[in-house]
């Protein structure tokens, strides 16, 4: 598969009154044509900041991207683009769907015109043609009575319909990359499943590569080709879906998997939760960022940051436990098949 996005040494700080928050700490990864790459982790781990930086959507007044960072798309560093060049990539080549469609859609503009606007900015067609295509896009994303609905405003839509409209806007120009940041968080479970199925179908039809940002491992199990787990601004484990679900290597990934409810779980049994809180990224710890919460923590973990250990061609982990000199440990039981009902 062809590599279409290459992120190297991405480091992003936020200047706040309290000091400098190190939100993303020297991460590197690639995205390949037509794949779905999931970035998972709890709130504040840096996954949304990473995805917004690809679109250059971070607030310039407070966000500071380190000079050594690179986001290479189509042979050019997105971080260096300005004006027209940036506008061409944004929306045309790389598009994004957000968590909350209501705040992303323009409440004063008919939905059909909003989809058409995206086409008018990036292609040379007439307003009439653009509106016609917008209706086609709304049909493609499964909006019922698309011709009529195209003339309505976002407040006349249900939550699921708004999210479909957002997807239509994002995909109108057939981007090479779609970034979906928690695309179903605001929706109820049945609509969530429909939207995720829609994204997967469109991805297969249009061969769009997707970066799926989520904390929902159920969605990841059903959708992702590859997964990278983020914690405290760093990627701590990565691998293809089967590796991450059937042979995870990092205690944080184990804990994430254990905290997913199981169908076999007794109704009154307590759900597993990860004790403690992530570190304060104003002052990230010297060693492993997960050390305070890790039940396998060793003296070296607090002293030195764990180095990357390659597990296979596709899987790697940053944890001293997997280092060749670390003591051999049994992983907690009950990890295999922890996500029930998913097509693994
Ligand atoms: Fe736990 Fe140490 Fe691995 Fe960090 S490096 S996750 S503290 S075992």
Distance 318 CA to ligand 1 centre (A): 8
Whether residue 340 has pLDDT greater than 50:
no
Distance 233 CA to ligand 1 centre (A): 16
> What is the mean pLDDT of the segment spanning 186-195?
78
Residue 306 Cα to ligand 1 middle (Å): 7
Q: What is the pLDDT of residue 338?
A: 46
pLDDT at site 202: 82
**pLDDT confidence tier of residue 146, bands split at 50, 70 and 90:** very high
Q: Which residues of 230-269 are buried (b: 16+ CB within 10 A; e: fewer)?
A: bbbbbbbbbbbbebbbeebbbbbbbbbbbebeeeeeeeee
Contact 324, 308 (CB under 8 A): no
State pTM to two decimals. Answer: 0.90
Q: Closest ligand 1 atom, CA of 251?
A: 6
pLDDT at 258 over 70: yes
- Decide which of 186 and 4 is more confident: 4
Task: Decide if 135 contacts 127 (C-beta within 8 A).
Answer: no
d(CA 178, CA 328): 41
Give pLDDT tens digits for 80-92: 998 888 988 887 8
pLDDT at 53 over 80: yes
DSSP H helical segments within 63-177, as ranges?
83-89, 101-104, 111-122, 127-140, 146-149, 159-171
Q: Is the pLDDT of residue 10 over 80?
A: yes
Higher-confidence residue of 143 and 100: namely: 143
As a whole number, the mean pLDDT across the chain is 89
CA of 243 to the centre of ligand 1 (A): 19
Please identify, by atom number, the ligand 1 atom nearest to the C-alpha of residue 302: 7
State the closest ligand 1 atom to the C-alpha of 306, by its place in the atom list counted from 1: 5
CA distance readout (Å), 122 to 116, 130, 172: 10, 11, 10
Comparing 12-21, 82-91, 205-214, 297-306, which segment has the lowest mean pLDDT? Answer: 82-91
Say what the pLDDT of residue 265 is: 66
Choose the weakest-confidence range: 45-49, 112-116, 265-269. Answer: 265-269
Q: 139 C-alpha to center of ligand 1: Å?
A: 49
Among 182-191, 212-221, 325-334, the least confident range: 325-334
Cα of 70 from ligand 1 centre, angstroms = 28
Mutate to test the pocket of ligand 1, among 279, 297, 327 (most ligand atoms within 8 A of CB): 297
Closest atom, ligand 1, to C-alpha of 296: 8
Domain ranges of the chain: 1-93+205-262+272-344
| Atom number, ligand 1, closest to the C-alpha of residue 301 | 2
- Residue from 293, 311, 321, 327 whose mutation best tests the ligand 1 pocket (most atoms within 8 A of CB): 321
Sign of CA dihedral 159, 34, 235, 294: positive
Q: How far is the CA of 245 from the centre of ligand 1 (A)?
A: 19
DSSP state of 80: G
**Alpha-carbon Rg of the chain, whole angstroms?**
21
Average pLDDT (35-54) is: 95
Hey, which of 276, 279, 306 would you mutate to test ligand 1's pocket, going by the most ligand atoms within 8 Å of its Cβ? 306
SS3 state of residue 90: strand
Measured CA to CA, the distance from residue 44 to residue 221 in angstroms comes to 22
Query: Is the pLDDT score of 110 beyond 70?
Result: yes
Q: Can you tell me the distance from the alpha carbon of 44 to that of 159, in angstroms, rounded to the nearest whole number?
A: 25
Which one has a higher pLDDT value, 99 or 265? 99
Residue 138 has pLDDT above 50, yes or no: yes
Candidate from 50-54, 77-81, 123-127 with smallest mean pLDDT: 123-127
Average pLDDT over residues 274-281: 92
231 alpha carbon to ligand 1 midpoint, in Å? 12
The mean per-residue pLDDT over the stretch 277-303 comes to: 94
Ligand 1, pocket residues at CB < 6 Å: 250-251, 288, 290-291, 294, 296-298, 301, 306, 319-321
Is the confidence at residue 200, as pLDDT, over 90?
Answer: no
CA separation for the pair 344, 332 (Å, rounded): 21
- What's the pLDDT at 333? 62
CATH entry, 1-93+205-262+272-344, from 3.30.1360.40, 1.20.1440.230, 3.30.450.20, 3.40.50.300: 3.40.50.300
Q: What is the DSSP letter of 155?
A: G
> For residues 284 and 25, is the Cβ–Cβ distance under 8 A?
yes
CA of 302 to the centre of ligand 1 (A): 8
Mean predicted confidence (pLDDT) in 278-293:
96
Per-residue pLDDT at 149 = 96
Per-residue DSSP letter, 187: S
What pLDDT is attached to residue 84?
Answer: 85
């Amino acid at each position: 598969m062809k590599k279409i996005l290459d992120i190297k040494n991405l480091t992003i700080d936020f200047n706040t009154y309290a000091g400098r928050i190190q939100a993303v700490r020297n991460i590197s990864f690639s995205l390949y044509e037509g794949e779905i790459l999931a970035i998972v982790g709890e709130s504040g781990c840096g996954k949304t900041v990473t995805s917004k930086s690809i679109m250059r959507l971070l607030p310039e007044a407070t966000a500071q991207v380190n000079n050594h960072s690179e986001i290479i798309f189509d042979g050019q560093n997105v971080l260096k683009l300005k004006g027209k060049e940036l506008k061409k990539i944004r929306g045309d080549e790389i598009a994004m769907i957000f968590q909350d469609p209501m705040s992303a859609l323009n409440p004063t503009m008919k939905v059909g015109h909003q989809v058409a606007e995206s086409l008018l900015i990036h292609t040379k067609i007439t307003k009439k043609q653009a509106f016609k295509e917008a209706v086609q896009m709304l049909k493609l994303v499964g909006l019922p009575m698309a011709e009529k609905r195209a003339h309505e405003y976002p407040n006349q839509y249900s939550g699921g319909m708004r999210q479909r409209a957002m997807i239509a806007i994002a995909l109108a120009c057939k981007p090479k990359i779609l970034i979906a940041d928690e695309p179903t968080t605001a929706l109820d479970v049945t609509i969530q499943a429909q939207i995720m199925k829609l994204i997967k179908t469109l991805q297969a039809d249009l061969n769009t590569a997707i970066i799926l940002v989520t904390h929902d491992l159920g969605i990841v199990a059903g959708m992702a080709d590859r997964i990278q787990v983020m914690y405290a601004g760093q990627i701590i484990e990565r691998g293809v879906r089967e590796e991450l679900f059937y042979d995870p290597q990092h205690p944080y990934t184990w804990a994430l998997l254990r905290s997913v409810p199981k169908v076999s779980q007794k109704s009154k049994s307590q759900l597993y939760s990860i004790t403690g809180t992530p570190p304060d990224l104003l002052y990230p710890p010297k060693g492993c960022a997960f050390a305070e919460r890790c039940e396998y923590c060793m003296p070296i973990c607090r002293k030195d940051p764990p180095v990357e250990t390659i597990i296979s061609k596709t899987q790697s982990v940053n944890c001293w436990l997997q280092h060749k000199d670390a003591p051999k440990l049994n992983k907690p039981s009950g990890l295999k098949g922890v996500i029930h009902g998913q097509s693994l």
